[in-house]
A and B are shown apart, each in its own frame.
Chain A
Amino acid sequence: MNKIYRVNMKDLTCKIEDVPAAWVGLGGRGLTSNIVAAEVPPTCHPLGPNNKLVFAPGLLTGTPAAQSGRMSAGAKSPLTGTIKESNAGGTSAQQFAKLGIKAMIIEGQPAEGKWYELHVNNDGVTFHDASALKGKQNFAVIDAMNAKYSPKIGVVTIGVPGEERLKSANISVKDPDQKLRSHGRGGLGAVMGSKGVKVITIDDSAGKKVEIADPEKFRAAAKVFAKAMLDHPVTGEGLPIYGTNVLINIINEAGGLPTKNFRYGTCEHHDKVSGETMHDVIAGRGGSTKHGCHAGCVIQCSQVYVDEKAEYITSGFEYETVWGLGINCMIEDLDDCARIDNAMDDIGIDSIEGAVILGTAMEAGVIPWGDGKECLRVMKEEIGKATPLGRILGNGTKSVGDAYGLTRVAVVKGQGIPAYDPRTIKGIGVTYAMSTMGADHTAGYAIATNILQVGGHVDPLKKDGQVELARNLCIATAAVDSTGMCIFVAFPALDIPECLPSLIDMINARYGINLSGDDVTDLGKSIMKTEKAFNDAAGFTKADDRLPEFFEYEPLPPHNMVWDFTGEELDEFWNF
């Protein structure tokens, strides 16, 4: 991967540039965040001409390394106002890697009202009129591009909410089964829409195999790494069988399952939407309980959820989405939840933000609690069509809270809080508060240590050790997010001693370099500090690194605990 495509939407040009020395050792999040920090004025309007949308595959993407096919997208986020990186599976990352594209930077804006398809191949990018696609949702865009080229074409697309620059809009990526994966969080779909880019198509037919400096060393390390994935009970057994939704029951038992818009920590009907139930429903109906979001995934945490006639309803139906709909919105019918998930994929909004939006809309009285049919209608007919109500909702959880004068609004830096209550799982609360991205559980997944007892145990109900835990996890995650690896490699990495060294060996063998474990930690630290510096320059202060006030005065049953970290305690997070 030795070139950068710089796409200018004002004059419709693409320059192919060499990779500057400072960026050679970077990939994925490390690269997108460094490019955004270097080139985007922190105070710019996220939807204006000065923001840039950057795509970068990870350092190991395109190699035979298991789990390495994730693509990072970065920009200044319209939802949070912070720097943002969001990574996704699908085919685009491996296609970029084959084409030798280390990053694609989309800058500028076209004349008002113009829509383009960017066609990416070995020679650069060409610009095609996409006005016929305007108003189409994601699955229709995929059909149109498959018809125009072939089903092998890579597709990266936005739906109507992205066109309309709504802050919950995501960027969707076609997966190997012609379905979708998403750069979900932070409203990056709105940034793509603001650049007049409706769709990016990728033709990798002139691509080459990714070169590996030391193939023998690589092969040996890749084997150890893949074995660790398969040997660890979480990645080898739990995730493939039950998917991420296995968490519903354990988080419920722990009393940290946010229920009815963060009122309670347990939910009576939890088993109706649990991973165990979902597994039985899928298996009983002839769907598939295992599925990979990209070629080369050996864990296969995903699934294909079907109806009673074994027809497709949705895939990539993750714990956070099931929680948000099934528990936080009290929608007891798993089929309804699956249909809403599919609608969010189709219109292109983040399925975590979308679910938290619906819960907040229920709080506001706009939708009755538990009404899955109405939620589906709201997704398709209001947010999907960007009606006035759809805009209030589609602009995110905070927008709904502001519009209806609510205080129980679960956001940090404007981004909806996902599926773990910070009052009773305190480590994840520190991550929500301190992450450079707004409330984001993947930024430092303290659930592993607080609840799952992977990588040791830190009592979720006590403050002791949580800041240090969240800090270490955030640093490690920033580094892992740069490799192109999916987040779940963390489970074996926390428990199996040879896992992390084999990951580093693969990077070294790929590039002919000699990174140590400390170098990788330093990489994570430097990414975090680069992102923090961007946010500081954009106007963020310590006061933004806090959870919503209601967590401090509303005790969460059954443990009846509140969020009780002081500002000084939290600020220790940045002490590295």
Chain B
Amino acid sequence: MKITVKLFAGFRNDRFKVDDLEFPENATVVDVLDALKINSPELGVAMINGRHVTREHVLADGETLSLFPKVGGG
């Protein structure tokens, strides 16, 4: 299935801003992190359609997954 992955902040370094990637059915957020060689503890926030999802979230074809490292401001 096709997943659009959007990366932010330091995750973009040596990777990309946005890309369409292929994953097997039932892939989770962790599978995407693994494919991108992002260590799971580095993940701050994962969102689909503006909603937070957990690392275990099972992705569906065509979804856009946004991945942020731990960031903050205020």
Contacts and interface: CB of A to CB of B under 8 A. Distances in A.
Contacts of B71: 233-234, 238, 242, 246-247, 250, 452
A250 B8 contact: yes
Given A233-B70, A453-B44, A276 B8 contact: yes
A254 B50 contact: yes
The B contact surface, by secondary structure, is mixed
A211 B72 CA distance: 34
B31 to A, nearest CB: 20
B70 A445 contact: no
B44 to A, nearest CB: 6
Contact of A238 (B49, B50, B66, B69): B69
Given A238-B9, A246-B73, A253-B66, A452 B50 contact: no
B72 A239 contact: yes
B45 interface: yes
Interface stretch (A187-195, A220-228, A284-292, A454-462): A454-462
A234 B8 contact: no
Interface residues of B, number: 21
Which of B9, B10, B42 counts the most chain A CB atoms within 10 A?
B9
A452 B52 contact: no
Contacts of B10: 237-238, 241
A246 B70 CA distance: 11
A55 interface: no
B16 to A, nearest CB: 12
Task: Name, among B42, B50, B72, the residue most crowded by chain A CB atoms within 10 Å (CB to CB).
Answer: B72
User: Which one of A241, A249, A266 has the highest number of Cβ atoms from chain B below 10 Å of its Cβ?
Assistant: A249
A540 interface: no
A243 B73 contact: yes
A447 B74 contact: yes
Contacts of B72: 234-235, 238-239, 246-247, 448, 452, 454, 488, 491
Contacts of A461: 51
A12 B63 CA distance: 68
Interface string B22-46: 0000000000000000000010110
A249 B11 CA distance: 13
Contacts of A247: 71-74
A199 interface: no
Nearest to A251: B73
Contacts of A249: 8-9, 68
Interface in A235-269: 235, 237-239, 241-247, 249-250, 253-255, 265-266
A19 B45 CA distance: 47
A234 B45 contact: no
A83 interface: no
Nearest to B73: A244
B47 interface: yes
B50 to A, nearest CB: 4
B64 to A, nearest CB: 9
B12 interface: yes
Given A234-B72, A250-B68, A453 B8 contact: no
Contacts of A234: 70-72
Given A255-B50, A445-B74, A452 B42 contact: no
A500 to B, nearest CB: 17
27 contacts: A232-B70, A233-B71, A234-B71, A234-B72, A235-B72, A238-B69, A238-B70, A238-B72, A239-B73, A241-B10, A247-B71, A249-B9, A249-B68, A253-B8, A253-B66, A253-B68, A254-B50, A255-B50, A276-B9, A318-B73, A452-B45, A452-B72, A453-B45, A454-B72, A460-B52, A487-B74, A488-B74
Given A233-B42, A253-B50, A452-B44, 8 more contacts: A237-B70, A243-B73, A244-B74, A246-B71, A246-B73, A453-B45, A461-B51, A488-B72
Interface of A: 232-235, 237-239, 241-247, 249-250, 253-255, 265-266, 275-276, 301, 318-319, 424, 441-442, 445, 447-448, 451-454, 457, 459-461, 487-488, 491, 558-559
Interface of B: 6, 8-10, 12, 42, 44-45, 47, 49-52, 66, 68-74
Name the 5 nearest CB pairs between A and B, nearest first: A244-B73, A233-B70, A234-B72, A255-B50, A238-B71
